Amino acid sequence: MRLQGRVALVTGASRGVGRAVSLALAREGCDLVLVAKTVEPDPRLPGTLNDTRREVEALGRRALVVRTDVRFEDQILAAVARANQELGHVDILINNAGALFLGPVVETPAKRFDLVVGINARAPFLLAQAVLPGMVERRWGHIVNMSPPLKPESAPGKVAYMISKFGMTLLTHGLAAEVRQHNVAVNSLWPVCVVETQAVIHFGFGDRDRWRRPEILADAVVALCGRDPSERTGRAWLDEEVLAADGITDLSGYACVPGREPLKLEW
């Protein structure tokens, strides 16, 4: 229970990585603010915020569901205001909600560019802006952005998407320097291998028997946030690095199909 009494806000919490992260944090003692768009069942997608809420509550933690489209500033501000009002504060922010679009520049419609940048870069900026005053006041906070280390050579063929994801990582580096003195940590986290999510399923990233379960990222989040913010900040981590630093090197338990070689993520 490394995070007993803390409150975490997780975006994209209705399924996949967001759900796994929410449950992992709950097991460590966190109450949860669950943010996403899916509250009612959608036949096209598994999982809702209310499903995650029930699982968090079954672990003995409180869970606040706030239906939010993170493209809109007013909805972000309303979600953070409800979190502060009903749970007292936000100690941990996990910027997990994401949009994926792959394609060369000449085949990228403006609306797709706006979508990925709005969700992947602008929303984390606004969410961080909204929760930081409380973290600074209490002199404790963690912000984790689901984004990769800067690697410009990975951009061809997916420039819009990488602009948005590298934008998240630049937020990590810049903001970490701004708030380090207040004992607030800002880090990025990215998987080494393909992790099972709805986006991966939709785009067909190889065979599922070589994917890893989202719990590998969830456990890496706990490893980051379970330490004092002064210990680790301003870095773009890979999940395997974070777990290895906590002494976890046998990753076979995260495989979707045991015994198969995991598929490295090309990005």
Q: Is the dihedral of CA 49, 50, 56, 62 positive or negative?
A: positive
**From 32, 49, 143, 161, active-site residue:** 161
Q: Are 169 and 149 in contact, with CB atoms under 8 Å apart?
A: yes
Q: Is 184 left (phi over 0), alpha (psi -120 to 50) or beta?
A: beta
Q: Are 251 and 217 in contact, with CB atoms under 8 Å apart?
A: no
Burial class (CB in 10 A: 0-12, 13-18, 19+), 80: buried
Active site residue 161: yes
Closest to 90 measured CA to CA, from 72, 74, 77: 77
- The residues carrying an active-site annotation are 161
